[in-house]
Amino acid sequence: MSVIQKLVLFCLKSIENQRTAYAILHLLNGKKSSQTIQDAHLFHLKRYFHVLPHLAREEFNQILDDLLEENYVTCLGEGSYRMTEKGDMYLQEYDEPIIPRYLNGWSYNRMDKLFWERLSLMVQVISNLVAYNGRYLPIQNNKPHLDWLKNFIQRNRINRHELATQLFKELQHILTNKKIDPLILILRLTGSNRIGLTQQQAAEQLQMSVLTYQLHFINVIHMILTEVKENNTSYPLLEQILETEEKNEWLQLTQSTRKTAIYLNQGYDIEDIIKIRKLKQGTIEDHIVELAIVDSSFNIDIYVPPEVQRNIIKTSTNGIKQLKYIRQLVPEASYFQIRLVLAKQKSAVSV
């Protein structure tokens, strides 16, 4: 069974026949609809959001047909599928996470493409610097990326050979001892004298389908992103690629909040984090409020039902700001929920 088939089977299991299979396609495509976003949370599939943005409907149907043929699922009609016992057995036989383990689409869906484009450009430019070659075509023609890179080179005014050595060390370190095949990334890199492969070519060389390759590739990028975020001091060059608005947001957070954010992004809920981090519920809630203030895209729907949010907003816009009074007017909301909604409002205003 291919890794994509496993992923789809796993998702089918998770949605427990409550949605049609196409909800999974939308999830993997990263469709920005409230239904899909809600599904991602409800069925704990946030990690797989937007991991295959180019997966086509026909390709997805083919995957379903293959699963059907092998009797891993049965079709209930109308796009609805149920996992069979055989499918369930198959998934249970694996202790290891059966799907690329570093995937974290919910957190990185806006960042992974940018990261790859800048990384590939950075490698190409530095490689040509080392070779004293000034004539080459940049493999990315995105003007902001080119400007950013120019800036990057100026900022890191060290000897070009040291720069290359540092980048080499960082890439070598980040790819070593991880549960990935480094060639998935390395084959795509372009240097002064060696031109990288396209995604199709790399898939061919590694003898996998293009779809499977795409999934593994995203997995590697997400692994790097997590690693750089968690140990930013070890990767001074790679860290600079994340210089976006998001990184500024990230820097504003306290160390402890960052840790909580990482857990949340990995799909753990508040109770899990309390257990893992041995912290009080109030502390974790503070972190979440902080995240809502800093990150305007932070979605609070899973913590506060939209209707309750509306009631809180209504009372607060009527001039009542003190938590105590809002609580009296909206008794169904907890203090945490009220704070969260107010924090969210604040971040929305400041944007």
Partner 1 sequence: MKQLLREKFGYTSFRDGQEETIKAVVAGKHTLAMLPTGSGKSLCYQLPTFMLPGTTLIISPLLSLMQDQVDQLLLIGEKRAIAFNSFLNYQKKMYALKNLHQYKFIFTSPEMLQSKLFMEKLSELNITLLVVDEAHCISQWGHDFRPDYLAIGSVMKELGHPPILALTATATDKVKQDIKKSLNMQNSMDILYSVDRPNISLHVEKVESYQEKIDVLIKKIRALHGPGIIYFSSKKTAEVCAQSLKENGIKRVSIYHGGLNHEERILIQQQYIHNQLDVICATSAFGMGINKENIRYVIHFHMPMNMESYLQEIGRAGRDGKPSLALLLYAPFDEQLPMQLVESELINDSQMENLKRFFLTDSLRWWELEKYEEDITVIANLSETSMRILKDFHRHAILDYKEATSLDELKVIMNKQFQLKLEAIQTVYQYIHSSTCRREKILHYFGELPTINIGDCCDHCNGSNYPDLQTEELEIIPLYENWEEILKDILLSETSKNEE
Q: Is 167 in the site for partner 1 (CB under 8 A)?
A: yes
Q: Is residue 183 within the footprint of partner 1 (CB under 8 A)?
A: yes
Pick the closer one to partner 1 by CB: 27 or 125. Answer: 125
Q: Does 153 bind partner 1 (CB under 8 A)?
A: no
In the chain, which ranges are continuous DSSP H helix? 3-15, 22-29, 34-42, 57-69, 85-92, 105-108, 112-130, 143-155, 160-175, 183-186, 199-205, 210-230, 236-241, 245-252, 255-265, 270-277, 281-294, 306-317, 323-329, 335-350
Pick one of 5, 14, 36, 127: the residue that binds partner 1 (CB under 8 A): 127
For every residue of 273-342, DSSP letters joined together read HHHHHT--HHHHHHHHHHHHHH-TT---TTTS-HHHHHHHHHHHHTT---HHHHHHH-TTS-HHHHHHHH
Does the footprint of partner 1 cover residue 312 (CB under 8 A)? no
187 binds partner 1 (CB under 8 A): yes
241 binds partner 1 (CB under 8 A): no
Q: How far apart are CA 176 and CA 242, in angstroms?
A: 21
Q: Is residue 135 at the binding interface for partner 1, with CB under 8 A as the rule?
A: yes
- Work out whether 319 is an interface residue with partner 1 (CB under 8 A): no
193 scored as a contact of partner 1 (CB under 8 A) = yes
- Shortest distance (Å) from residue 140 CB to partner 1: 7
Range in contact with partner 1 (rule: CB under 8 A) among 23-31, 55-63, 186-194, 261-269: 186-194
Tallying the residues shown for the chain, one arrives at 351
Q: Nearest CA to 210 among 223, 219, 222, 201?
A: 201
Residue 108, CB-side half-sphere exposure with 13 Å CA sphere = 29
Task: Name which position in 91, 98, 164, 262 contacts partner 1 (CB under 8 A).
Answer: 164
Q: Does 190 bind partner 1 (CB under 8 A)?
A: yes
Of the listed pieces 78-86, 189-197, 273-281, 332-340, which binds partner 1 according to CB under 8 A? Answer: 189-197
Q: Is 165 in the site for partner 1 (CB under 8 A)?
A: yes
Position among 172, 248, 281, 328 found at the interface with partner 1 (CB under 8 A): 172
Residue 209 exposed, middle or buried by CB count within 10 Å (0-12, 13-18, 19+): middle
Cβ-based nearer residue to partner 1, 33 or 141: 141
Cα 83–Cα 86–Cα 91 angle in degrees, nearest 5: 75
Report the distance separating Cα 342 and Cα 321, nearest Å. 9
* Region from 95-103, 121-129, 226-234, 267-275 binding partner 1, contact rule CB under 8 A: 121-129
53 near partner 1 (CB under 8 A): no
How far is Cα 277 from Cα 256, in angstroms, rounded to an integer? 10
State the minimum distance, in angstroms, from the CB of residue 296 to partner 1. 23
Judged by beta carbon, residue 132 or residue 159, the one nearer partner 1 is 132
Contact positions toward partner 1, by CB under 8 A?
120, 123, 126-127, 130-141, 164-165, 167-168, 171-172, 175, 182-183, 186-187, 189-199, 201
